Structure 1
Amino acid sequence: MTTDKPKWWQSWMVYALIGLLLTLGPYVGGYFLLGRYDSVPESPFDTSPVTVRQFDYQILGIVFGPLGWAEAKVRGVRVSLFTPGESDLYEPSW
């Protein structure tokens, strides 16, 4: 009768995956909850709106910049992140 011991790296992979999921949830939730959301046309003749997310602090714009980029790519719309003194525009093209 043999007993197979789990490999040491298998348990670490599970812990790393759990840690990633536990940090990714609040990160994405913070992006949607901490910013004010609006969708406005860029000009009266433009049919594609710009999604605007406005954050109160500049550090939030820095932290959530990668999610603004991902939102532009996934949704296929322009996303603009506004913070005091700075704004970033992310295009949907790959």
Structure 2
Amino acid sequence: MTTDKPKWWQSWMVYTLIGLLLTLGPYVGGYLLLGDYMEWLTLGTDYTYGVRVFKYETLAIAFWPLGWIESKIRGIPVQVESPKPENFLVPDPSDVKGIFSH
């Protein structure tokens, strides 16, 4: 019978993983619930892009990484912005190919 204690770094890895999982859920939920989403189709072309508008510029900056991830998953550019038209963040359209497109 052995009484090996776990190494100190093993417990810190578990606590870090739990902390990341507990913060990831509210972060994604906040992105989906706090932003108003609209999808636009440019007239005369098949170019479609999404716009997610947040109430404050700080939220647009904080959630921009999820906008980039959403654009990769959906395969269309997603513009993340605050109410002022000059405060918007757009992923590079040439970078958006989508993970499900061939």
Query: Within 2, Cα distance between the matches of 1:18 and 1:46?
Result: 46
- Per the TM alignment, residue 3 of structure 1 is displaced from its structure 2 partner at its CA by 1.9
Where in structure 1 do 4 or more consecutive aligned residues deviate above 2 Å?
A: none
The alignment status of 1:37 with 2:54, answered yes or no, reads no
* Structure 2 match to 1:84: 83
Alignment gaps of 5+ in structure 2: none
Identity %: 55
SS of structure 1 residue aligned to 2:90: strand
The TM-score, its normalising length taken from structure 1, stands at 0.89
Alignment gaps of 5+ in structure 1: none
* Structure 1 match to 2:8: 8
The TM-score, its normalising length taken from structure 2, stands at 0.82
The one-letter amino acid paired with 1:52 is V
RMSD of aligned Cα (Å): 1.5
* Structure 1 match to 2:46: 47
* Structure 2 match to 1:73: 72
The one-letter amino acid paired with 1:87 is F
SS of structure 2 residue aligned to 1:64: helix
